[in-house]
Amino acid sequence: MTAFLLENRVLPFSTDNEDAKPIWAVTKEQFEGEHLPPRVKKWASSAGFEAKSGNFLLVPGEDGELSGALLGLGDNPDDNPFVSGKLAKLLPEGNWQLAGPSAAMEKLLLGFGMGAYQFSYYKKSGKQKPNLVQDNSVDSVDLQRQLSGVYLARDLINIPTNDMGPEALERVFRTLANHYHAEVNVVLGDALLEQNFPLIHTVGRASSEEPRLLEMNWGKSTDPKITLVGKGVCFDTGGLNIKPGSAMSLMKKDMGGAANVLALALMIMDANLSVNLRVLIPAVENSISANAFRPSDILISRKGLSIQIDNTDAEGRLVLADALALASEDKPELMIDMATLTGAARVALGPDLPPYYTDDETLASEIYDAGQQEEDHVWRMPLYKGYEADVTTKITDLTNAPSGGFAGSITAALFLKRFVDPEISWVHFDIYGWNPKDRAHAPVGGEAQAIRSLYRVLKDRYPAT
């Protein structure tokens, strides 16, 4: 499994341009002008081709053999920058070379790469896929680095829990760390109690696989410390507040925060950014058994804050609380956490637009701008102080499930904030980690969200030296 995830993934690009057929990616203006060879323009016009975004046409040669293809980009390639993902599904096998607007080339190649993704571990596809010849105008190493991260996040989320429980997630974690010569430490089972991670232990103790806290350290100790924290709930039944079957069907994706954090870590280490990287993943399964935690239990966290359990299905914030408290203890320069945390975030912004929360205005702007530039869009939500009282109770410092049902994503972020040292620059992402419908660059299934934006921020802040 780990080999499938980290070693056997072949990206759909080639360095061999011999016999590569051209793909003319054209705007409406280019199609109407002199951009195309006359015979191609004549064929396209005869076939009724219009350069609307996503329109596709195969082009024969004079001998009747396939000689190329056309892709419409519409009025402006920026309106649908990853439309090229369609090519991975429509082109016949073989080598192809993209000819399109130079300013759009990087996103066209990235879109093709994301659209070429297939989750084929359980069902092998006999169909050969097309390859694109790398373009010299684009940093192909960085392009493939980003795609490797996207593929890893998607794979981890798509694999069901019988093959991606806490033990398997640890194996992937170790394999990634070994590849980049990072150090790993794991706190397992009852050792969580001995080392004061009571919430992680409590949430995961009912599973047949022991709960654990995974830690990875990479980079020079003299570089700025950056800590990534990812929610690794490998399956969430809801616990004793059990979910209905319809809500449980996608819960293999409840470790989507961990998947995206690992994918971001891959990109950071592969780019050799000038950071002292720490990755923390509480890996658990929220199961039901005789020792499962209960509604009304009161737990004491690593930080010493008391928490009343008002719903065992609000478990992600609990495991994150202990991990964030640990992360805060050595005061990193920047701390990022990612979690598939609340349905409220989806109600507010839908599945494709992850909200993020931070009090750091500079960081907030950097993240938003990077999302716009990378077409990896995110939206800032407020850590509204007026709702802080909602996350407390009369007898405890906190509740894990405020009553009333309002502002659920905000109150979850406010809960997490209580475990972060206020002097630390911190941002929380409440991601969905799933594509509910096919798009040109994104098939139904697990998805990488916000990590290309974050990679851009980190790459700009801490470039490799």
Residues 150 and 85 in one domain: no
Label residue 4 by pLDDT band (50, 70, 90).
Answer: very low
Q: Give me the amino acid identity at 366.
A: E
What domain range includes position 304? 145-461
For residue 125, the model assigns a pLDDT of: 67
Catalytic residues: 243, 317
For residue 10, the model assigns a pLDDT of: 77
What pLDDT, in 10s, does the model give residues 393-440? 999 999 999 998 899 999 999 999 999 999 999 999 999 999 999 999
Residues 163 and 87 in one domain: no
Residues 207 and 85 in one domain: no
Residue 257's φ and ψ, nearest 5 degrees, are -65, -45
Average pLDDT, the chain: 95
Residues 121 and 153 in one domain: no
What number is the average pLDDT over the span 225-246? 97
What pLDDT, in 10s, does the model give residues 304-342? 999 999 999 999 999 999 999 999 999 999 999 999 999
Say which CATH number the domain at 45 has: 3.40.220.10
Higher pLDDT, 390 or 18: 390
Residues 107 and 156 in one domain: no
Say which CATH number the domain at 317 has: 3.40.630.10
For residue 5, the model assigns a pLDDT of: 57
Statement: residue 126 has pLDDT above 50: yes
Label residue 223 by pLDDT band (50, 70, 90).
Answer: very high
Residues 79 and 168 in one domain: no
Residue 59's φ and ψ, nearest 5 degrees, are -120, 125
Show which of 85, 116, 138 is a domain's final residue.
138
Show which of 96, 112, 138 is a domain's final residue.
138
For residue 440, the model assigns a pLDDT of: 96
Residues 27 and 154 in one domain: no
Tally of structural domains, the chain: 2
Statement: residue 8 has pLDDT above 70: no
For residue 18, the model assigns a pLDDT of: 80
